Chain A
């Protein structure tokens, strides 16, 4: 399965800096949605972004992927400053999914994935009109690649299903397949398990690990704490537009400020230990508080 993502299946040095966001600020009028956020994502790493509703996670995502142009600050990808245009960001090697699924509903699963391949294919209008060999071979190759990707996410039997007819969980997986079709180095997932049952969540988790094993870095926004701490090598917690804590999963998990941000101030007589894994179970499942 590793050959699915061509060219990036080799061993990656986990210390290579892939995404480098420095002092990103995004203001809408008087509202500062993202305030001076700096984050680094290394190659081959799964990075989690958590935070209560309205903390600015999705806005930060939009800044990274070129949907918004940050008011100030800079985003570098593989050393280059990212152009503020979504399609150029995709070309550079960064692909995303959406919090509210945005598939092309009246296209089949296969066609959805093939749209994702747009920026990596070259057939122009003349090739297509004259049906030149380039068109033919590229169409065949894209179709085959799209089928491989559908198989990779476990949707090979649904290739000809209209995406609007797919069950919810499959739509999420199809969005991931479509993003993978852009041949990214970094995959950004915006709440990939929102609305999923525990079994589907486990499948998603397993899928993300497999994507990492292909050599891709993953930046994931999530509310589901069990999911995020199982999955991520490092986690950052965003509160009111700013990074509150960043670090290894268990460090962030037990940081009192994170807990406070999620469930409010704990009763003073029972301070939560920030030293060990003792308090692990208390704050799980309170994700959307």
Chain B
């Protein structure tokens, strides 16, 4: 954009550009109160005049933000004081307008597809499109604003805590709203809106401010995140459909976090990681009281979980000990083969070709629900007047497993062991020459990651009711790896986001599940090209991917120092 329009043009047209943009934003806001489609089927019914549908109301958000950004600095910049200079008014308005246009286009496309034809778009849709177009033309003509410095404005601690809590509340509200969109078009439109708002907030510096607030109030952040996550089932009115998706997302995320230790922290490429999840699941299934269980030993679940983890980590040691001396591509090939060996072995342990452990390709079904001290996971319970169904129970259990994994991940990362891992990633030979036991550290990551996957697998067995070998195919390993890479290697938040995207989208967008491999492939290519460090970047990983970028190195260093994120190792991590 900068290259297209010269600064002189921007200065000359700044007033008309502002007027055009304001008119555009107002038009989009007005369109919300007009009907968008002639048919009721599209976007959950957007045919009302004067009474916008819930989805339409969210359309007030982006143009509303744009309007504020355009009007406020014009009217009362002085009254805002130090905040006025800290905000990138024009650039944020520009981002907002472009995002508005993109979202409107997606919404109109959804209407046209669902009702078969552009002819079905009513006046409101066209007003929204025209308005968004005006704003998208007008705002690029505004002069650029300087970089936002909102994140450097000193704010009191209470304000930071309020900010974090508000963010978490918004996440809970928006996530439950998004999950309740049954229609693919609505879900996509709403997703696009959210992405747009996030982009504007980033441009404003609000995200930067929040991340500093989060770094300063780590405990508040973690606590509120878990409160929100635990509160989520209460927003679902006893519906098990969404909770089933949510619990599957958590199981997938747990495995991805375990893989993140291996891939993200140590930098070892593991293409057979799903085998460890499978090992945990099979172990738990065999030890469960299922009628198809093949052994006569049925310990309580807490013991089973430990055994599952240990079995998985033993497999990790078995495969790791001979192969971790090689690295890079060789390790990838060996682990890939290991994943297949696991699946084929599980298929063949059916009593014909070997001992009967897994019933072959039939697997073990009829795995009973968990029961902790009388709390039956299979039953719905009413808590605070809200019915909490079977999947919500497993969702809560998986949250605990994820909490455990995050503690392990963070506490290992910020320790002598984590430093050793970084050193291995940076220069394995130098690490060895400085006395780091590189082999043992790699093996630890491999076995530790496998243990965590085994634990997640044990819960998965009871959650899924049956365990069969064909659930643990190579494709699943590839998806886990994609979640790690897409989200951001070495980060917890990134991998949670990556796992959610990869698991949630195919569930919510049924029409697209046929093409999901194609689309995820494309997504990965685009990411590798433009943001190889993932959605949420680990600072060090970002440096590794942009080795030549000296400016980035300086910036990150400054960030490290100002945030003190890497200092005071004794303060890092979670004390149990």
Interface residues of A (CB under 8 A from B): 65, 67, 85-87, 90-91, 95-96, 98, 102-108, 111, 114-121, 123-125, 127-131, 135-136, 138-140, 142-143, 160-162, 164-165, 178-179, 182
Contacts and interface: CB of A to CB of B under 8 A. Distances in A.
Contacts of A87: 432-433, 435-438
Given A106-B540, A182-B434, A164 B566 contact: no
Nearest to A62: B433
A131 B419 contact: no
A114 B416 CA distance: 8
B contacts with A: majority SS: helix
Contacts of A98: 430, 433
B569 A102 contact: no
B433 A165 contact: no
B296 interface: no
Given A87-B435, A160-B567, A125 B417 contact: yes
Most buried by B among A85, A105, A115: A115
B368 interface: no
Interface stretch (B182-190, B389-397, B550-558): B550-558
Given A90-B433, A102-B427, A139 B415 contact: yes
Contacts of A103: 427, 430
A contacts with B: majority SS: helix
Given A135-B415, A142-B416, A160-B557, A107 B422 contact: yes
A105 B319 CA distance: 31
Nearest to A104: B426
A166 to B, nearest CB: 10
Nearest to A162: B557
Contact of B430 (A104, A136, A182): A104
16 contacts: A87-B432, A98-B433, A102-B427, A111-B422, A115-B431, A115-B434, A116-B434, A117-B416, A119-B434, A124-B417, A125-B417, A128-B415, A139-B416, A139-B569, A139-B570, A143-B570
Contacts of B39: none
B433 A65 contact: yes
Interface in B519-572: 540, 543-544, 550, 553-554, 556-557, 560-561, 566-567, 569-570
A129 B371 CA distance: 28
Contacts of A105: 426, 543
Given A121-B416, A161-B557, A140 B570 contact: yes
A119 B436 contact: yes
A133 to B, nearest CB: 11
A136 B411 CA distance: 11
A160 B570 CA distance: 16
Interface in B11-40: none
Contact of A131 (B420, B427, B567, B573): B573
A155 B190 CA distance: 53
Contacts of A116: 434-435
A118 to B, nearest CB: 5
Interface string B335-360: 00000000000000000000000000
B21 to A, nearest CB: 41
A125 B447 CA distance: 12
Contacts of B432: 85-87
Contact of B429 (A102, A111, A118, A164): A102
Most buried by B among A111, A116, A128, A162: A128
A106 B429 contact: no
A8 B412 CA distance: 32
Contact of B543 (A120, A136, A142, A162): A162
B169 interface: no
Interface of B: 407-408, 411-412, 415-420, 422-423, 426-427, 429-438, 444, 448, 540, 543-544, 550, 553-554, 556-557, 560-561, 566-567, 569-570, 573-576
B435 A104 contact: no
B570 A136 contact: yes
Given A165-B553, A165-B554, A67 B570 contact: no
Contacts of A162: 543, 553, 556-557, 560
Most buried by A among B433, B435, B575: B435
Contacts of A111: 419, 422, 566
B404 to A, nearest CB: 10
B553 A119 contact: no
Given A90-B434, A106-B426, A178-B434, 4 more contacts: A104-B426, A118-B437, A129-B408, A143-B570
Contacts of A65: 433
Contacts of A67: 429, 433
Nearest to B568: A143
B575 A125 contact: no
Contacts of B575: 131
B561 A123 contact: no
A57 B554 CA distance: 36
B415 A123 contact: yes
Contact of B422 (A104, A142, A160): A104
Contacts of B556: 162
B275 to A, nearest CB: 22
Contacts of A143: 569-570
Contact of B557 (A95, A114, A165, A182): A165
Given A106-B540, A136-B570, A123 B436 contact: no
A104 B415 CA distance: 16
B221 to A, nearest CB: 18
A115 B423 contact: yes
A123 B414 CA distance: 12
Contacts of A121: 416
Nearest to A123: B416
A135 B575 CA distance: 11
Nearest to A108: B566
B560 A108 contact: yes
Contacts of B561: 160
A136 B570 CA distance: 6
A86 B433 contact: yes
Contacts of B544: 106
Contacts of A127: 415
B574 A128 contact: no
B267 to A, nearest CB: 12
A32 to B, nearest CB: 24
A83 to B, nearest CB: 12
Contact of B411 (A90, A131, A164): A131
A95 to B, nearest CB: 7
Contacts of A178: 434
Given A86-B433, A139-B415, A142-B416, A104 B553 contact: no
Contacts of B416: 114, 117-118, 121, 123, 128, 138-139, 142
A289 B411 CA distance: 53
B433 A131 contact: no
Contact of A164 (B419, B435, B437, B553): B553
Contacts of B436: 87, 115, 118-119
Question: Closest 8 A-B residue pairs measured CB to CB?
Answer: A119-B435, A90-B435, A128-B415, A102-B430, A104-B426, A106-B543, A86-B433, A86-B432
B285 to A, nearest CB: 28
Given A104-B427, A160-B560, A96 B407 contact: no
A87 B431 CA distance: 9
Contacts of B576: 130-131
Contacts of A95: 434-435
B447 to A, nearest CB: 10
A136 B571 CA distance: 9
B17 to A, nearest CB: 41
A114 B422 CA distance: 12
A153 to B, nearest CB: 16
